[in-house]
Structure 1
């Protein structure tokens, strides 16, 4: 009998003699009653462990124990909220421990091996780049239109506290993501090929346009920017940046040698976006005209009173 056959026999004997395996993480049971018979190939010969089933087990364990790292952020008062490291399953170490159980019947309690994942933005980075405002822009909207106001606030929150490192590009669509009902976006006016319609997420172009003017004032490099097919009210002519999940995006690049921080707020009829960075940054600002405070007249769409996008 070869080594494979002998080891297969040992596994078969252990299946009758050894109790089930319990997988735990930091004092909590992740998965218990793991039986050898579920992860061994049938006798007489063959690979000792069913790798496909083991891979699925590791996926199940990872889904329960892994967590994404959380960047340090600023709260509404400008105070630093510390970062939180993430956790990642060490699959090779897990596999070694699992093989030990399959071949030797030990350990009976498997502590999930985890690796810390540190966030890109920690408190030290944030404390260095929150001190100096290098660009700012404000636009205005009619807060009586609740759907549009809600969409604007959601998009403003999505880009708030974003940090762009030197040489990196910021994508509005990539950061805000798809605008869906599940995320809370509502139907509001949008412009499509010069015509006005209602769609999920209407109004967020005011956030992308305000951001465009703020980063332009800060001297950052505009990589991708498109204007609407008709005039919009909230920025001067030619100073808008239309976005669509399946269409145009607004993208800029940080050409400085210091990270930059985006602070974004929308409420009470005002969108305010500021760009911050380090005192060490050699600023090269641009002149950008300010936005008008005059609000547009309301118009009828689908027999409901709304504000033109």
Structure 2
């Protein structure tokens, strides 16, 4: 019969005692901490160690932002999914009994040894949807300043700044606002051009030209005045391009244009909008005075009476256009006015060495028998 060495029995006894001690310790620890958060569990800067699930929920629910604010208006957040996410997270941190106290005890010790990351403060999908809804109330497009020439002076109507809710940055701010019940929203100011300050610089007359027409041709006079109204008050930014056809639009009866005499090739015909080439020509002469860059211009095939030969600018919608670029450093204001037998176009802007202020207006007077078609 083999005899076991004494030290083997000693090891068996020591191992048995150690196992019993661990089991008893785990059982005791579990018994003391059952249904309580593991020691050292910190969520959103709050130590939840030793708290029950209800206690932990009460503490964490207090630090979740409940509302956002913009310009003294408070928008309350609906946090149903956020609340459920928090409850689900806490449930995952507490022991669900298996019915075996030893198994539960070891599971508790295992959870104490783990580092579990904190959950999101808010449910992103839920909150972003509400922020976008709030943006519909907060966002404002702003208004550009306007200017017009009246009674010998430039009158400015002030504009306003716009505002836009920055949804992404507002979300980030909410995520970093632990413990704040109401969180300011992040907005962006929108500057709408031209601003009042930009238009206040538009003071100098750069171009001023007048041409004359026969007031007895009612249809033609009507067309000239309609086109002048379309041009009047237009504001062109630095570097901006002006298109006569885009500005005046189609010369249609629905818009008030009447059939009148006009040149078509080498013939004189009657068509809607006849006569408005006098508007484009008068504007062309003013742009020459202002030393602006002409991008597109065509002359009539036949001479006209309201400017010298070759100094006109004919237009035909969809075919021939008169275009120029604002080559000054500031905004331009166009003023087009008509009288009993004249049309006058002024260009106001910011004078510089390349675009000096005009000393006096100019024009091309004609005799009554020389009225153009």
TM-score range, shorter chain: 0.5 to 0.7
Distance change in 2, residues 1:124/1:67 (3 Å)? closer
Residue 284 of structure 1, CA deviation: 5.6
SS of 1:242's equivalent in the other structure is coil
SS of 1:134's equivalent in the other structure is strand
Measure, in 2, the Cα distance between the counterparts of 1:160 and 1:274. Answer: 9
SS of 1:243's equivalent in the other structure is coil
Residue 280 of structure 1, CA deviation: 5.0
Q: Which residue of 1 aligns with 2:29?
A: none
1:291 and 2:364 are equivalent in the alignment: yes
Q: Which residue of 1 aligns with 2:146?
A: 72
Q: Superposition pairs for residues 115-130 of structure 1, below 5 Å?
A: 120-129=193-202
Q: Superposition pairs for residues 155-170 of structure 1, below 5 Å?
A: 155-170=227-242
Measure, in 2, the Cα distance between the counterparts of 1:241 and 1:79. Answer: 27
Q: Which structure's relative contact order is higher, taking Cα pairs within 8 Å and 6+ residues apart?
A: 1
Distance change in 2, residues 1:258/1:145 (3 Å)? same
SS of 1:235's equivalent in the other structure is coil
Residue 169 of structure 1, CA deviation: 1.1
| Aligned partner of 1:273 among 323, 331, 345 | 345
Unaligned runs of 5+ in 2: 1-135, 168-187
| Aligned partner of 1:234 among 306, 325, 346 | 306
Measure, in 2, the Cα distance between the counterparts of 1:211 and 1:190. Answer: 18
Distance change in 2, residues 1:67/1:215 (3 Å)? same
Q: Which residue of 1 aligns with 2:268?
A: 196
Is the CA contact (8 Å cut-off) linking 1:137 and 1:211 kept in structure 2?
A: yes
1:153 and 2:225 are equivalent in the alignment: yes
Q: Superposition pairs for residues 92-103 of structure 1, below 5 Å?
A: none
Q: Which residue of 2 aligns with 1:9?
A: none
Distance change in 2, residues 1:220/1:153 (3 Å)? same
Residue 125 of structure 1, CA deviation: 2.4
Q: Superposition pairs for residues 184-223 of structure 1, below 5 Å?
A: 184-223=256-295
SS of 1:228's equivalent in the other structure is coil
| Aligned partner of 2:209 among 137, 158, 175 | 137
Measure, in 1, the Cα distance between the counterparts of 2:263 and 2:306. Answer: 14
| TM-score, normalised via structure 1 length | 0.60
Residue 73 of structure 1, CA deviation: 2.4
Residue 291 of structure 1, CA deviation: 1.4
Is the CA contact (8 Å cut-off) linking 2:260 and 2:273 kept in structure 1?
A: yes
Distance change in 2, residues 1:224/1:153 (3 Å)? same
Residue 123 of structure 1, CA deviation: 3.1
Is the CA contact (8 Å cut-off) linking 2:210 and 2:362 kept in structure 1?
A: no
| Number of aligned residue pairs | 218
Q: Which residue of 2 aligns with 1:253?
A: 325
Distance change in 2, residues 1:143/1:290 (3 Å)? same
> Residues 175-224 of structure 1: CA distance to partner in whole angstroms, max 9, x if unpaired?
11111112111111111111011111111100000000110111101110
| Greater Cα radius of gyration, structure 1 or 2 | 2
| Aligned partner of 2:245 among 173, 181, 190 | 173
Question: Which structure has greater helix proportion?
Answer: 2
Is the CA contact (8 Å cut-off) linking 1:133 and 1:275 kept in structure 2?
A: yes
Measure, in 2, the Cα distance between the counterparts of 1:171 and 1:74. Answer: 19
Measure, in 2, the Cα distance between the counterparts of 1:86 and 1:180. Answer: 37
Measure, in 1, the Cα distance between the counterparts of 2:244 and 2:281. Answer: 10
Distance change in 2, residues 1:163/1:67 (3 Å)? same
Measure, in 1, the Cα distance between the counterparts of 2:320 and 2:145. Answer: 28
| TM-score, normalised via structure 2 length | 0.51
Measure, in 2, the Cα distance between the counterparts of 1:81 and 1:257. Answer: 19
Is the CA contact (8 Å cut-off) linking 1:80 and 1:123 kept in structure 2?
A: no
Unaligned runs of 5+ in 1: 1-60, 93-114, 298-306
Distance change in 2, residues 1:136/1:263 (3 Å)? same
